[in-house]
Structure 1
Amino acid sequence: MTDDAPTPDLVRLASAYGIATEYWSFFGDRVQVPASTLRAVLAAMGIDASTDAAISAALVAEEERVWRELLPASFVTRAGVGVLWVHVFDGHDVTVTVALEDGSERALTIPEQRPAARLVDGILRWRVEIPVPDDLPLGWHTVRAEQRPFGGAEADRTASAPFVITPDRLGDPPARPGRTRGWGLMAQLYSVRSRASWGLGDFADLADLAAIAGERGADFLLINPVHAAEVTSPIEPSPYRPATRRFLAPLYVRPEDIREVAYLTPTERAVVEAARGPVAAMDDDADRIDRDAVWAAKRLGLDAIFAVPLTPSRRAELDAFAAREGQPLQDFALWCALEEHYLGRERPAEVDDIRSPLVAELRTRLADRVAFHVWLQWIADQQVADAQAAARAAGMAIGVMHDLAVGVHPQGSDAWSLREMYATGMAVGAPPDMYNQQGQTWNQPPWLPRALAEAGYAPLRDMIRTLLRHAGALRIDHVIGLFRLWWIPEGLSPAAGTYVRYDHEAMIGVLLLEAHRAGAVLIGEDLGNVEPWVREYLSARGVLGTSVLWFEREGDGFRPPEQYRRSLLATVNTHDLPPTAGYLADEHVALRARLGLLTRPVEEELADADAERASMLALLRERGLIGDEPGEAEVIEALNALITASPSQLLGVALVDAVGERRAQNQPGTDREYPNWQIPLAGPDGRAVLLDDLVHNDRFDALTRAVDTSVGRHPL
């Protein structure tokens, strides 16, 4: 045993909390997790494992914990699946009822048999296992238990908990009439600008891009996460590191599309136009997106529009929106107001506690700014609704496909207002793999599995409801995080982390229930080191997986697309790779070499890339998709046509491929070394491609036409 090898009791304790004590690496090695990592993860969960005595005490407490509870904290299952346990004192009866969402009530049948008992705190407690009835309706119900002494009339112990019945599976994705599957565009919204933009693609541009794609036969438009980020500079450029995952980024609001603009005075309108001028001049800049400049300008214009009194009907709409979103919206708006209030000023430690007297006082003092940020969320919600309406009007069967980030910023709104939900001193990331040989740390706190269960999974439910309110689909980034998530102790390298398991049946069930109610499609990004059974489980429940052409390897070559899974969103590339034009030009190697991210000599990486490219071109020639000396555009078109031969239910075309962009949007493993998530959409000549010109772009027209034709030619 090494100095940092875990003891058997530490292994037992870690396992009880879902912490992996060993795992298989991407490269096929069995890795034992060191004791120091296990202790750090347990500490983040509030468990003292610093000494052998503390570990022994924690083991006893964990074994007895569940026996002390009359009911579990929450119960998520499918109708007719599993058992609900109840722990009853010896000499007592129990009654259990379910209060259904519709207001009715059902009594559950209590079996006579009590299969197990345990003495805890000097009291003998029996476990009662109640089979879940197979006729319970889907929904968010409440289970209630009452314990009373034999022959007694009054209950001496009661409990209630969320009782959630979820669908077995979702149905197949919808398609246009006459087709059995669909295709869509994939775009980084901030990069897609028009001549009416404020230097950054926005929700109005989303509506126009959806209309353009829909008219060409697309059924969906997948965009980057549009979760809210900071409201003060500097704004985090990564859409995958938001301040909150529940609310939308006002950065994407188009000020001129707000109804109250019509009632601005000439002087007020001049303020809005003057604010837009300098950032609108950036629309033709193909170098970099400047979120800070855009938000500073938009905030001036939005402040002027917010000052316009609402009509009674508009006020009623805003009030209804605020009532529906409840306290979480008020807390998010307060966080925004506090960020503005303390910009450039010393921030008292008391402000970090949402329940502190100072925060309560500031909630009142900053009421006007809180109201402003509530209003902004209402406006954002309306503009996203308009974009989805435009998508459906253009013939899309699905429409907008949102992207759910895997986590949040450690100093963001969610980490502040939902602090008890997150593990401190931990960061989410990924272990080393073929493309990120040093591993990844995403600098985001992980959700605490038990805190989620104790909250009845309400934070997850509410987040999904917001995203699916005006969308037809949701892509879940790093869906494996709903099964197990890579936790990295603060200050350690990504390789020093370990996996922590979550209740995937509960979390996937919540997703399915909300998607079912919204009539939406779910796609899980299941690339990388994923346990095989996870993909089978997701497919069985109607959640599509993800396939990237370059990752579909078989021996020394590529897997024929006919062998892809049916339950997939199949694409040629992903936002974590350079666009296909850049990939064909070895930009994925050159960029990592420039940034010092390679662990092998660059010559070896280039040789592998050359062999990979040659193998792919040979496959395309074999199928008659390219000629002997194909140009770049011909190869890109052929690659996208190739995946239409798969049985996959959805096919995605990257907008960057459709216009010939070469630059990567993101280079994993970097932070400030590369302008991640700041690259505007440009063509092969390096000039910006605006939405106004997209309809006349020959490459865009040729690629979308070819894919649409191929999809029609290759039904499922």
Structure 2
Amino acid sequence: MPVSFETTPDEVPAELIELAHSHGVRTEFYGFEGGAQQVRASTLVAVLEALGVPAASSRQVQMSLALVRDDEWRQTLPPTVVVRQGVEASVPVHVTDGATVEVWAEVDGAEAGAPARGRRERRDLAQVEHYVEPRTVDGRRVGRATFAVPTDLPLGWHTLHASTEGVEVKTTLVVTPQRLTLPPAVEHGQVWGLLVQLYSVRSRTSWGLGDLADLADIAWLAAHRGGADFVAVNPLAAAEPTAPMTPSPYLPTSRRFLNPIYVRVEDIAETAYLSAADRSLVEWAADPVRDLATDPGPIDRDVVWEAKKAALEVVFTAPRRAARQAAYEEFVAEQGAGLRDFATWCAICEHLGGKDWPRELSTPDSPAVEALRERLAERVDFYTWLQWVADEQKATAQRLAREAGMRIGVMHDLAVGVHPEGADAWANGAYLARGVEVGAPPDMYNQQGQNWSQPPWNPRALAKAGYRPYRDMLRTVLRSAGALRADHILGLFRLWWIPGGSKASAGTYVAYDHEAMVGILCLEAQRAGAIVVGEDLGVFEPWVRDYLADRGILGTSVLWFEQENGGPLPPERYRHLAMASVGTHDMPPTAGYLAGEHVDLRERLGLLTEPVAVVRQRARAERDVFVRALAERGLVGDDPSEREIVEAMHRYLRQTPAALLGVQLVDAVGERRSQNQPGTDQEYPNWKVPLGDASGTPILLEDLFDSQRLRSLLAVLNAPE
């Protein structure tokens, strides 16, 4: 009888370790306290099973090992070939030993990374001398031939073909840039911009929640009245189409598509041509939420969305001009099956009204889904149209930002993953690992580890799919973006997988093909004309930051975290290719942090693991260290005020070589309340706090740039160096 590894969790057989390594699963990791920690056998088994690799017994491990050892020899071509333009690379081709083989690339002559438009060119690959001993696989003697990939292939998505013994096979060939091209102002200088939680910045004409029209206004005003070169916003990715809507922008139902709650109804072209009766319906829908702009309480997305959806349904029925209809149809065709499936998922969610999904609706290609798609065709069209109008308004915000003089424009944000029961998890289920969740191992800030409840990409399935789901997601997110911030970009190298039902600490790292993941990100960003900022905080190998910098991807430097010898890192020691900021959206605004209000909040919420007096003393000491460092550089005088310290911290960052300087809008107005308190769910109004001043009084967009505090900080940011 095979022995189950579940019965001996602390004993990890050598063959299980070998199997894990062969699939990129780490069998040990270094904890934040130092020292290697062995991963339990039960964790390895669960993670391998999530990858589709049976490993629950010694016999299964032996069989899986036999398969993986010869796996690449069973395939004529690799699942996907990713190379850098101008860099010598080769591809292994497996054929019957002694057989001849012809290999060529079908090159897409369209714009790099763009969909093929009929211009295809054949490029033959030359075989190179590289002998590898043949081996017997499944009773067949298999040899390996090696072919050189031409170094002058254009950037983009091509097809690699191989023909042998009358059989032709093909695979995806991706040519990525060696380095993402950066604008001169970023490559050689420093520019600054605002970091904004868009939903929190309300105007008198928005419906109780900051929207895409507000984003356009923020960008224009920040450029004209502040001299900013970019505005970075929280992820605007899709949430549930019905209440309750998940408030966290970092747990979307889809990373590819937008949340239509950010649409400004009045800015849709067809709204201007509504009949008097229909216009009244729109106004009536807005009435319940108009006054929410000045409400100091938590933002209520459900109320806002119900009101806005009712108005959007009226506008949707309005006829469109011929050119507008053609533009809509072109958008639908361009987004293809991905948009259709997303809109179908939204329509089915609405149809089921919160009930559990029947098994027959579990995949988008099932007959039951197809039948329901036809039955709900009008609602599918409605949710498709919502994406079009949201995409239009997103594009308008970027266009106005650039026209206002911003050298970058709008920086969008890409979350790590998606909701486990959302649209992407439904539509891309074949490319996601099930039975595991993404998170982070224990560290000094979260000593129990973190579980983000998101299903990870399955690296094996993603490669077999030619990385199409990943590419399509990036293309849509990068539309009309001047820049993209990739949250936890370390996840493109390895992610912490946690077996379902286990503690966050009981996980392990699973490796991804970072050359492919990062390379494709660079390719799609270059195609979109955008720069990329990677949030590279946390535990990582030192070479990772160097690798990202070599690819032209900026890192993240946070003043509170950049320390050396027990004090702040001197400004001249900062990296150039990074976006520097004082804090993050997961920390209290600087005013609140300096006052130690984060300690008070964590005490009230029962999150402290040490005596409150000890934590307060440590926070005060941390503040004093930073103030002394500012004073030593002549940035503050004796007994500085909180406002003087905040401005001095930004002067400090202006002295760094960091290419980008991010200024949190909450710091610019003196806000003290946190947008998000990690470790809480219902205990704190995460992602619901409206922008306010030091006393919590709401600040509307129309009044924002008249704020004396903001104008004072702008003077600091624009002072001659």
Q: Is the 8 A contact 2:297 2:690 kept in 1?
A: yes
Partner of 1:152: none
What is the alpha-carbon distance in structure 2 between the residues aligned to residue 298 and residue 587 of structure 1?
36
Q: Is the 8 A contact 2:9 2:40 kept in 1?
A: no
Residue 89 of structure 1, aligned match among 90, 96, 99: 96
| AA aligned opposite 2:62 | S
Q: Is the 8 A contact 1:352 1:416 kept in 2?
A: yes
Residue 123 of structure 2, aligned match among 106, 126, 129: 106
What is the alpha-carbon distance in structure 2 between the residues aligned to residue 674 and residue 113 of structure 1?
62
Alignment partner of 1:497 is 2:479: no
Partner of 1:208: 217
What is the alpha-carbon distance in structure 1 between the residues aligned to residue 651 and residue 266 of structure 2?
40
Residue 378 of structure 1, aligned match among 350, 371, 388: 388
Q: 1:221 offset after TM fit, Å?
A: 0.5
Q: Is the 8 A contact 1:659 1:683 kept in 2?
A: yes
What is the alpha-carbon distance in structure 2 between the residues aligned to residue 271 and residue 116 of structure 1?
75
| AA aligned opposite 1:5 | E
Q: Is the 8 A contact 2:98 2:143 kept in 1?
A: no
| AA aligned opposite 1:10 | L
What is the alpha-carbon distance in structure 1 between the residues aligned to residue 286 and residue 135 of structure 2?
69
Q: Is the 8 A contact 2:9 2:42 kept in 1?
A: no
What is the alpha-carbon distance in structure 2 between the residues aligned to residue 468 and residue 532 of structure 1?
28
Partner of 2:16: 10
Alignment partner of 1:190 is 2:199: yes
Partner of 2:235: 225
Alignment partner of 1:260 is 2:290: no
Partner of 1:61: 67
What is the alpha-carbon distance in structure 1 between the residues aligned to residue 186 and residue 447 of structure 2?
42
Residue 455 of structure 1, aligned match among 465, 477, 493: 465
Partner of 1:408: 418
Q: Is the 8 A contact 2:158 2:173 kept in 1?
A: yes
Q: 1:172 offset after TM fit, Å?
A: 3.1
What is the alpha-carbon distance in structure 2 between the residues aligned to residue 372 and residue 517 of structure 1?
30
Partner of 1:142: 159
Alignment partner of 1:464 is 2:474: yes
Q: Is the 8 A contact 2:186 2:659 kept in 1?
A: no
| AA aligned opposite 1:680 | P
Moved more, 464-473 or 412-421: 464-473
Moved more, 344-353 or 70-79: 344-353
| AA aligned opposite 2:617 | A
Partner of 1:117: 134
What is the alpha-carbon distance in structure 1 between the residues aligned to residue 605 and residue 36 of structure 2?
30
Residue 208 of structure 2, aligned match among 182, 199, 205: 199
> Match of 1:262, SS?
helix
Partner of 1:572: 582
| AA aligned opposite 1:86 | V
| AA aligned opposite 1:54 | Q
> Match of 1:456, SS?
coil
Partner of 2:54: 48
| AA aligned opposite 1:661 | E
Q: What does 1:154-165 align with in structure 2 at a 5 Å threshold? A: 155=166, 157-165=167-175
Moved more, 590-599 or 312-321: 590-599
Partner of 1:33: 39
5+ residue gaps, structure 2, are 110-119
Partner of 1:131: 148
What is the alpha-carbon distance in structure 2 between the residues aligned to residue 345 and residue 32 of structure 1?
42
Q: Is the 8 A contact 1:176 1:397 kept in 2?
A: no
Structure-2 change in CA distance of 1:176 and 1:138 (3 Å): closer
Structure-2 change in CA distance of 1:346 and 1:106 (3 Å): closer
Which consecutive aligned stretches of 4+ in structure 1 deviate over 4 angstroms post-superposition?
Answer: none
Q: 1:346 offset after TM fit, Å?
A: 5.6
Q: 1:495-520 deviations in whole A, cap 9, x for unaligned?
A: 11110000000000001111111121
Q: What does 1:220-369 align with in structure 2 at a 5 Å threshold? A: 220-345=230-355, 347-369=357-379
| AA aligned opposite 2:63 | A
Identity in percent: 53
Q: 1:295-338 deviations in whole A, cap 9, x for unaligned?
A: 00000000000010111111101000000000100000000000
| AA aligned opposite 2:17 | V
Q: Is the 8 A contact 1:75 1:164 kept in 2?
A: yes
Moved more, 398-407 or 423-432: 423-432
Q: 1:599 offset after TM fit, Å?
A: 2.5
Structure-2 change in CA distance of 1:557 and 1:692 (3 Å): same
Superposition TM-score, scaled by structure 2 size: 0.96
> Match of 1:406, SS?
coil
Q: 1:592-641 deviations in whole A, cap 9, x for unaligned?
A: 22223222222222121111100100111111111212212111111111
Q: 1:396-441 deviations in whole A, cap 9, x for unaligned?
A: 0000000000000001000001111111111111111122222111
Partner of 1:151: none
What is the alpha-carbon distance in structure 2 between the residues aligned to residue 260 and residue 623 of structure 1?
57
> Match of 1:550, SS?
coil
Q: 1:4 offset after TM fit, Å?
A: 2.2
> Match of 2:49, SS?
helix
Q: 1:663 offset after TM fit, Å?
A: 0.8
> Match of 1:210, SS?
helix
Superposition TM-score, scaled by structure 1 size: 0.96
Q: 1:113 offset after TM fit, Å?
A: 4.3
Q: 1:114 offset after TM fit, Å?
A: 3.3
Q: Is the 8 A contact 2:186 2:660 kept in 1?
A: no
Number of equivalences = 703
What is the alpha-carbon distance in structure 2 between the residues aligned to residue 222 and residue 700 of structure 1?
17
Partner of 1:597: 607
Q: 1:134 offset after TM fit, Å?
A: 1.7
Q: Is the 8 A contact 1:192 1:691 kept in 2?
A: yes
What is the alpha-carbon distance in structure 1 between the residues aligned to residue 223 and residue 507 of structure 2?
44
| AA aligned opposite 1:197 | S
What is the alpha-carbon distance in structure 1 between the residues aligned to residue 44 and residue 354 of structure 2?
39
